[in-house]
Amino acid sequence: MLTMILVSIASCLFLAFTEHFEKKLKISAFVCLLTVNVAHIILFFLAGFSDPGIMKRNENSFGCHDTFIKVVHKGIFKKTRLCETCNIAKPFRSAHCSECDNCVLRFDHHCPWLGNCVAKRNYKYFYFYLILVNIHCLLLLVFLYIIYLKSFVMEKKLIKH
């Protein structure tokens, strides 16, 4: 949440203190930054508050203390890992998140900025959120560079006169 607020504040301050912009350029900068900012806020909430793929706990115990158990999948015996906390046979690439205390399908990591795991069901939202935050920062840099060039040209004009 703090990351989202800081990026939004940077855009607001940028637009508030840019007197070197022409009106058309300032409006286009405002529209670009606002669009990207709103989109990355929406993706932040989608990634942070959607279910990452949490697997339901099994109330019954397997009655064994092995880390691997044999399961039948499509008529074939396979070895799979057992989560002793959740009492479930974990599918491939699932893991137990120590922060959430849940087993999560296709677990990637627990994101402290989102306060949620990034996994199977919210990975695309997280990925596009990161892309949009980077685009947002690049837009700020581009507009700052334009301001720098305009102020440099204005200084050269003042020096010549």
Q: Render pLDDT for 122-134 as a digit per residue (tens, 0 to 9).
A: 999 999 999 998 9
Residue from 83, 86, 103, 111 carrying the catalytic annotation: 111
Query: Could you tell me which residues are beta bridge partners of residue 96?
Result: 103
Q: What is the mean pLDDT of the chain?
A: 83
With bands split at pLDDT 50, 70 and 90, how would you rate the model's confidence at 144? confident
Contact 3, 126 (CB under 8 A): no
pLDDT of residue 147: 78
What is the C-alpha R_g of the chain?
Answer: 25
pLDDT tens, residue by residue, 9-35: 877 777 777 766 677 777 888 888 889
- Using one digit for the tens of pLDDT, what is the confidence trace for 108-126? 999 998 889 999 999 999 9
Q: Mean pLDDT across the stretch 128-153? A: 86
Q: Is residue 111 flagged as an active site residue? A: yes
Q: Which two tokens stand for residue 61?
A: 């115990």
Give the pLDDT of residue 114.
87
Residues 74-92 as b or e (16 or more Cβ within 10 Å = b): eeeeeeebbbeebebbbee
- Asked whether residue 63 carries a pLDDT value surpassing 60, the answer given is no
Q: Mean pLDDT across the stretch 90-115?
A: 91
* pLDDT band of 102, cuts 50, 70, 90: very high
* Identity of the highest mean pLDDT range in 6-10, 35-39, 89-93, 116-120: 116-120
CA distances from 120 to 54, 79, 83, 159 (A): 9, 22, 18, 60
